[in-house]
């Protein structure tokens, strides 16, 4: 085999390698773009779900607050007794530490 043939074979191999590298780079780029798009959509969906959960929790806390307020108005002495018991229990816990 002559030097010319060897050079030609090396050039052909280099062209093929360059083509393969370009194809691989394009595949990697496309896959990364798809993954990025999926990740963005998942983040948006998580944001929507978090917003919905926060709104639901806010609504439920309002209902709970209204219920507690109604019970305190209906039975103020019972509410004072419960508040005192909770305060006493917290004081006992703090004192032990």
**What pLDDT, on a 0 to 100 scale, did the predictor assign at position 52?**
95
CA pair distance 69, 87, nearest whole angstrom:
19
**How high is the mean pLDDT in each 10-residue block of the chain (97 residues)?**
81 88 92 94 96 92 90 92 94 86
**What pLDDT, on a 0 to 100 scale, did the predictor assign at position 57?**
92
10-23 in b/e form (b: 16+ CB < 10 A) is eeeeeeeeeeeeee
The sign of the CA dihedral 97, 92, 71, 77 is negative
**What pLDDT, on a 0 to 100 scale, did the predictor assign at position 88?**
95
**What pLDDT, on a 0 to 100 scale, did the predictor assign at position 91?**
93
DSSP-assigned letter for residue 12: H
13-21 long-range Cβ contacts below 8 angstroms, 24+ apart: none
Tokens, residue 82? 């419960």
Query: How far is CA 96 from its chain centroid?
Result: 39
**What pLDDT, on a 0 to 100 scale, did the predictor assign at position 1?**
66
For the whole prediction, is pTM greater than 0.85?
no
**What pLDDT, on a 0 to 100 scale, did the predictor assign at position 95?**
86
């Amino acid at each position: 085999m002559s030097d010319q043939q060897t050079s030609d074979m090396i050039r052909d191999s280099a062209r093929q390698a360059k083509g393969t590298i370009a194809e691989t780079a394009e595949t990697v780029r496309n896959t990364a773009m798809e993954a990025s798009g999926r990740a963005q959509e998942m983040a948006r969906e998580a944001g929507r779900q978090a917003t919905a959960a926060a709104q639901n929790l806010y609504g439920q806390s309002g209902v709970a607050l209204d219920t507690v307020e109604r019970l305190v108005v209906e039975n103020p002495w019972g509410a004072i007794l419960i508040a005192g018991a909770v305060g006493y229990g917290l004081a006992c816990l703090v004192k032990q530490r």
